[in-house]
Structure 1
Amino acid sequence: MYALALFLIVAVVAWFLVITLVDIYPLNNVRDAKPSEQRTEVAVNAPVLALPAVLLGIAAATDITALAYAAGALELVFALGGLVVWWMPYLVGVPAPWATSGTGVTWAELHARTYAHTVIVVPRIGERPRPNLEHMILHGLMLAAAVVTFAAV
């Protein structure tokens, strides 16, 4: 079960890198992202997203179950953070304060430029930014990784 959990965590990191760096329009819209935004996103998020894999690997090698629990908890926190960033503006109409920190634009502006022209499967609620499919997949992988990690422990 640890192998499946590790696979899912690595899939999260791999999917994140693909949707951030590789143009697979219309699933993503990397072509309209600024290179500085891409570099910042990868530099900040890739190491953090990889941390649960490291913790789970060490847990499997040493039988320190607390590290496996930490890996699952981190994966769950990442999923919840992603859900807040994407679903709170959509469902409640309030963006997460940290969603665009350091970019100089609002969540609505960033969404309109980068995500609004990608595959979106949820219905409109007024003019609110909607979660796109690429991020729904990412967050689904994160939730699955968290659940499987906890089940493995």
Structure 2
Amino acid sequence: MFLAALLLIVAADAYFILTTLADLFPFNNVREAKRSEKLTEVAVNGPILALPALLLVWASAAGAPVLAHAGAILELLALLGGLALWWLPYLAGVTMPWATAGTGETWAALHARTYAKTVIVLPRRGDRPRPNLEHMILHALMLTAAVCTFAVATTL
């Protein structure tokens, strides 16, 4: 289970980095982003997504389940941020205030301009922005990583 948790955390981080830096249109929308924006997103979020893996390895080496729990909680918090950003607008029509910080746009307008042109498999719910497949896969990886990491933490 340790190896599965570790690989899932690393896979989620690598997937995030790939989909942030590489133009895979229509799977993602990074062709519209400036290089500096992409690099800033990876520089800020990449280490946050990698930290649970480091905590898990440290926990295993030290026999300290609290570190594995901390990694699982961090993975879960990152996931909850993504779910709040993507799923609350779709399911409940609620947009997080930080969703478009500094852009001067609403989440609906930003989504329509960028993400709406990517692969989306969910049905429409009125005019609400829908999570795209790229982010659905990322969220699934993160959720699975968090569950596996919690499972490992209970066995250390």
Same fold judged by TM-score > 0.5? yes
Which consecutive segments of 4 or more residues in structure 1 shift more than 2 A?
A: 33-37, 102-106
Match of 2:102 in 1: 102
Alignment map for 1:55-134 (pairs within 5 Å): 55-134=55-134
Count of residue pairs the alignment pairs up: 153
What are the ranges of 5 or more consecutive residues in structure 2 without an aligned counterpart? Answer: none
What are the ranges of 5 or more consecutive residues in structure 1 without an aligned counterpart? Answer: none
TM-score (norm 2): 0.92
Match of 2:141 in 1: 141
What does the per-residue CA deviation read over 1:14-44, in whole Å, with 9 as the maximum and x for residues that have no partner? Answer: 0000111111111112112233331221121
Match of 1:32 in 2: 32
Does the C-alpha gap of structure 1 residues 5 and 49 become closer, same or farther in structure 2, counting only changes over 3 Å?
A: same
Q: Are the equivalent residues in 2 in contact too, given 1:32–1:113 (CA < 8 A)?
A: no
Match of 2:52 in 1: 52
Q: CA deviation at 1:125?
A: 1.2
Q: Which amino acid aligns with 1:86?
A: W
Does the C-alpha gap of structure 1 residues 138 and 89 become closer, same or farther in structure 2, counting only changes over 3 Å?
A: same
Match of 2:15 in 1: 15
User: For structure 1, which segment, 31-40 or 70-79, has the greater mean C-alpha deviation from structure 2 after superposition?
Assistant: 31-40
Q: Which amino acid aligns with 1:19?
A: T
Identity %: 65
TM-score (norm 1): 0.94
What does the per-residue CA deviation read over 1:30-59, in whole Å, with 9 as the maximum and x for residues that have no partner? Answer: 112233331221121111111111111111
Q: CA deviation at 1:147?
A: 0.5
Q: Are the equivalent residues in 2 in contact too, given 1:21–1:38 (CA < 8 A)?
A: yes
Q: Which amino acid aligns with 1:53?
A: A
